[in-house]
Chain A
Amino acid sequence: MPEQVAVVGTGQTVFRSLDRERTFVEQAQAAAIRALDDAGLTPDDIEAIVFSLAPTAFMGVTEAERWAVDHIWAGGKPMMRVHTGGATGGSAVHAGYSLVRSGMFRTVLVVGAERMGETPDAQYFLNQIWDPFYEKDLALQTIVAGAFLGQRHMNIHGTTEEDFARVVVRQRRNALKNPHAHLKGEITLEDVMRSPRISYPLKLYDCCPRSSGGAAMVLGDLDTARRCGGRPAFINGLGGVSNTVFLGDRVVPAAEMDLGGVEEHRIASRQAYQRAGITDPAREIQVAEVYDPFSTLLYPALESLGFCDPGRAAGLEKEGAWEPGGMVCVNPSGGTLCTNPIAVTGLVRNIEAARQVMGRAGDMQVPNVKQTLATALGGSGQFVNVTVYGQDHH
């Protein structure tokens, strides 16, 4: 009989461009300590570790997780590193979930850190992710890919730059209540529209920052959850999908997943909903932490997640549907637009979703939360994973 899997503790550092007070391994350690304290556990209680670490090129230390072993008390224990690009943090949660769900281990620490600020030019390395023969020389990087995606959504659904800008305004405001967020503040639509052009339709404020910091989550079986006390968040459903790397193959008539809809979310979420017993996500999920490094990503993601029909998300934004108190509260933490430490961004999305269920989201807490959702996205937008959290195990 598969084990129930619960989040029993989480921890994050404050995210900023460059953490000058801590090294990489100390960032991971700080997050691990906070997660263990949150769970009321000690390092000896942890049976296995999943390390969440995306490209090491940003920091220039390969296999940096090996360096962190002693700092996160992993010596003598099973540890594995997961890396699926931007989707890494979500994949790491899924790996940790499987280790507990399978009965292999009763407690797993999912932990990671990122030092994006040490990268002279992150987008240089994010050009190296593309095919070396066909795409790399096109000066593709993730900003351009996010821009392409936005253009596709604009062409299909008539979405405007102002529509995308509203996402930024709402999420920067949400982030004011998040003590860990990197960017936050009251800004106007005009501020976003007047910010420097990066890649049409993206402007500076439509893009996430490069963030540094650490994050950790402790997963446990049902006995562990009972021992830890408090209100855990149960992982009731998960799904993931990988698609072709080639952007062009996702805009042709024969494409099974359209680039403009980031429709990978549809496959991943349907798997997660089926496992969690969710049939109407807009009614059954109260909070969604959606991976949106660019403002262009959110609307198609919400549509493919089934929260509304294709082309409706921007209109619902105007109506306040994604605000706290709206139909579904989307990214009350400020989301990836406000904080993007790539190695752990997906993990942060999962932490924020879990904490809403646990009732420990502080000033970000949305009332009467029963079920939440977290996503992570990576590569050329080709890797998507979805995780559903609930107060009760399914």
Chain B
Amino acid sequence: MNIYVIGLAIYPPAERIMNERLEEMVYTTTRAALDDAGVTRGELDNVVLAASDEFDGRSISSMLMAMPAGAYLTDEIKVTDAGAMGLCLAAARIASGDFHLGVVASWCKSSKTDVEGLMRLKGEPFFTRPLGLNCAVTDALFGRAVVERWGIGPEEINDRVLAAYQRAAGNPRGVRHRVPSPAEVADSDYVSAPLRQGHRAPMTDGAVSLVLASEEWVDAHPEREPLARLSGVGWATDGYQLGRERLGGMHSARIAWDMALKRAGLGSASEVEVVEIESQTGFHEAAYVRAFELEGHPGLSPSGGPFAQNPYFCSGLVNMAEAVLQVSGRAGPVQVQGARRGVGHGCHGFAQQANIVAVFESVEA
């Protein structure tokens, strides 16, 4: 794939953004991304939005959000799976040859949403919903399956959470949560065994936009130096029923990972310097490092991932933006020296039903 990221912006996240409406957040973010790319809205030939009506509290959220995201009188499509899915469709549109310069934008004001109430509505009405499944319960089922499959002890989960907070503390684009003490994580209340409150990345508000361009556009605009090349994307979904194999098998994660790396011409994690994982809990990180064969990888989520900021719906796309910043040498205090290839990962659905992976390379790579 020869698609280029030529600009991006991440909205300064907060646990609760009170001073701007969603429209203003998205306008601010997309405008900053366009400025970063050195292009104007009028030059765009397509926009892909990734948003959730339910999180936004509107029946068709793009009606109000398309314009602030730069889509006025432009070809625009919205996907609703997760922020990171917007990148997949945006990549396909540019790779089709029909489009050459586009924006992908995503956002989430988790703070104004009854998240667990929303999660309960995801359950189908006949069997799942009456059980009261929600995010906490399904993440706990996932955690239990992961622990049993790989024989993971609680110490590893706690250590991963603490390490993620510590990495996040150095990320100027994060909320800069206070790093909890080991006891605050290990002894925090159970929300659904074995998942403790301290194991979960706190949700935040946030937004992110990236500007993508085709190779043809980049060749025609040598004055605009791309930040990174998007060399591969992959995504996949697992089944709906939360059986043991579905919960611990990590099938869609592996399929998405393999698909993205294959498209990028890569064979394994050893060929990338940075991998930004969407670890909503310590159990997630423990599972993904095993599924992606990342154990001991020195560039594991240097941004802190969701423990730095976690605008739930678009945390995966924030990870991808962080990966772009790494390979373009703009990651600041969390920069991994010599990062030439970086992976961004996102997941969505009950107990990570689906996974999305994108590979970025420095333009010299």
Contact = CB atoms under 8 A, between A and B. Distances in A.
Interface stretch (B150-158, B322-330, B348-356): B348-356
A81 B57 CA distance: 18
Interface string A79-95: 11111110000010011
A243 B353 contact: no
B337 interface: no
A125 B59 contact: yes
A129 B58 contact: yes
Contacts, number: 184
A378 B85 CA distance: 21
A98 B92 contact: yes
Contacts of A66: 122, 237, 240, 349-350, 353-354
Interface in A294-327: none
Contacts of A82: 77-80, 89
7 contacts: A78-B88, A131-B64, A238-B98, A241-B76, A242-B75, A245-B64, A379-B62
B79 A83 contact: yes
A77 B236 contact: yes
Contact of A130 (B63, B121, B252, B256): B63
Find the residue from A2, A61, A131 having the highest chain B CB count within 10 A.
Answer: A61
A55 to B, nearest CB: 4
Contacts of B91: 102
A32 interface: no
A351 B93 CA distance: 21
B139 interface: no
Interface in B107-140: 118, 121-126
A81 B81 contact: yes
Contact of B121 (A55, A62, A378): A62
A41 to B, nearest CB: 20
B181 interface: no
Interface stretch (B65-73, B162-170, B200-208): B65-73
Contacts of B66: 242, 245, 382-383
A128 interface: yes
Interface string B16-58: 0000000000000000000000000000000100000110011
A75 B355 CA distance: 12
A67 B63 contact: no
Contacts of B235: 78-80
Nearest to B69: A242
Given A55-B60, A76-B251, 18 more contacts: A2-B98, A61-B121, A63-B80, A64-B124, A67-B124, A69-B240, A78-B256, A81-B81, A82-B77, A83-B53, A84-B60, A94-B77, A95-B92, A98-B96, A242-B72, A242-B74, A242-B75, A383-B62
Q: Number of contact residues on B: which range applies?
A: 35 or more
Nearest to B62: A84
Interface residues of A, number: 67
Interface in A136-159: none
B241 interface: yes
Contact of A69 (B80, B89, B234, B353): B353
A75 B238 contact: yes
B72 A98 contact: no
B88 A80 contact: yes
A47 to B, nearest CB: 11
A61 B124 contact: yes
B73 A60 contact: no
A129 B59 contact: yes
A184 interface: no
Contacts of A335: none
Minimum-distance CB pairs A-B, first 8: A102-B95, A101-B96, A242-B76, A240-B75, A2-B97, A85-B60, A75-B239, A98-B92
B255 interface: yes
Contacts of B236: 76-79
A379 B60 contact: yes
Contacts of B53: 55-57, 83
A116 interface: no
Contacts of B60: 54-55, 83-85, 129, 378-379
Contacts of A78: 88, 234-237, 256, 259
A328 interface: no
Contact of A128 (B58, B72, B89, B350): B58
Interface in A16-53: 23, 25, 53
Contact of A76 (B71, B77, B238): B238
Given A56-B54, A76-B252, A83-B79, A241 B74 contact: yes
A169 interface: no
A268 B323 CA distance: 35
